[in-house]
Structure 1
Amino acid sequence: MTQSSYHYRAHEAEPGQPLLIVFHGTGGDENQFFGYGRQLLPDAGIVAPRGDVSEHGALRFFRRTGEGVYDMDDLRARTAAMARFVEDRIEQARPSRIIGLGYSNGANILASVILSRPELFDDAVLMHPLIPWQPEPNAGLAGRRMLITAGRNDPICPPSTTQLLADYLVGQKADVELFWHSGGHEIPQGEIAAVGRFIGDGS
């Protein structure tokens, strides 16, 4: 799978500017976080790929067999494809900094890419991720800046699983910030503000 295998929306920037790659949630598309990305980093390049898996008409980045039950073979294949897509975009943009931002299913594909190819991203925002397996030790995660945002009453992403992911990343010596809100799978204003602070602190 090559770069052209994904439909995507992009805003090009001059070489040397940051590159922000945004990943939508289930049922979203390349427009879901594109405008938000432009607001976060107006001078950055923005790339928003569209998930190429349809689940009853809802776009996703990989298949699953049930809520929280992933098709791991499909996830591995699509993680490798997405990593190549990201690599191609980095080569074209020649950015100063590479930031990933994903929500829900988009956070999951972003996390999976980072676990397999940590050198591709300097910073990452994982909004309501669900990684229902124990990743292997990964020295390449050391020093990577990561923000995880989550709801303490999220019925889709159990808080205990979110905490396990954060603990794993800390154990790999990543620079991890964890933001909780009192709600569920929605994105409240406080979460948006936390993302903005994190992105701004890395500039």
Structure 2
Amino acid sequence: MTYVAKRTEGTAGKPLFLTFHGTGGNEAQFHGLAEQLIPGAHVTSPRGDVSEHGALRYFRRTGEGVYDMDDLAQRTAAMAGFIQAEKDTTKPSRTLGLGYSNGANILAAVALEQPDLVDDLVLMHPLIPWAPDPQTGLAGRRVLITAGERDPICPAPLTQSLADYLSAQGAEVTVHWHPGGHEIAQSEVDAIAQFVARTDTSL
């Protein structure tokens, strides 16, 4: 599977940082942030290839919070293949993924199916509205979830359920809440910077 993507070639041996935009965003939404968070990293930001009334997404849905699960399965497999190809090209020391909203959901879906592809995950306002099967491969993966306590799109109980599920699989989960809704708060950005810094210094 080939996606339109923005790429920054990094230094040999540095991490690969993948970013995934939210609905209506594009490949530039978080690309610069990734470059700032880990200078010298390989950064790849694929563009969603599904159009929802002109808004770019990574998979189809039939309503707010109602996913086309067959389409999600197909596009999860395609994204996993894309990530593997990027890793084969860059040969990174470690692979990080950051996604917001729909981008967090495709990143989480990939991790549920092929947890060995991405070492560290930043899931901003994710919504996984189903109960995932056990996935022992998530053990030891570092995960940061950021969310709004009053998010009307990603209800707090479902966010907490995802965090609990990941913890039960053995992942190292940190959850950062802000008092607002679906918007990205500065405190989230700060939490992400701290999370990524711990990754970079551990290399």
**CA offsets 1:70-112 (integer angstroms, 9 cap, x no match):** 0000000000000000000000000001000000000000000
Matches within 5 A, 1:14-33: 14-33=11-30
Which consecutive unaligned segments of at least 5 residues does structure 2 have?
none
Amino acid at match of 1:87: Q
Give secondary structure in 2 for the equivalent of 1:118. Answer: coil
| 1:108 aligned partner | 105
Structure 2 Cα separation of the partners of residues 73 and 30 of structure 1:
24
Which consecutive unaligned segments of at least 5 residues does structure 1 have?
none
TM-score (norm 2): 0.98
Match of 2:65 among 68, 92, 95: 68
Amino acid at match of 1:31: A
The CA deviation at 1:13 is 1.3
Matches within 5 A, 1:56-95: 56-95=53-92
Give secondary structure in 2 for the equivalent of 1:119. Answer: coil
Query: Structure 1 vs Structure 2: percent identity of aligned residues?
Result: 61
Q: Does 1:162 align with 2:159?
A: yes
Structure 1 Cα separation of the partners of residues 98 and 188 of structure 2:
13
Amino acid at match of 1:74: D
The CA deviation at 1:202 is 1.3
The CA deviation at 1:14 is 2.6
| 1:121 aligned partner | 118
| 2:183 aligned partner | 186
Structure 2 Cα separation of the partners of residues 89 and 81 of structure 1:
13
Amino acid at match of 1:138: Q
Matches within 5 A, 1:22-61: 22-61=19-58
Amino acid at match of 1:78: R
**CA offsets 1:155-177 (integer angstroms, 9 cap, x no match):** 00000000000000000010000
Q: Does 1:151 align with 2:148?
A: yes
TM-score (norm 1): 0.98
Number of equivalent positions:
200
The CA deviation at 1:39 is 0.9
**CA offsets 1:146-201 (integer angstroms, 9 cap, x no match):** 00000000000000000000000000010000000000001111110000000001
Amino acid at match of 2:94: R
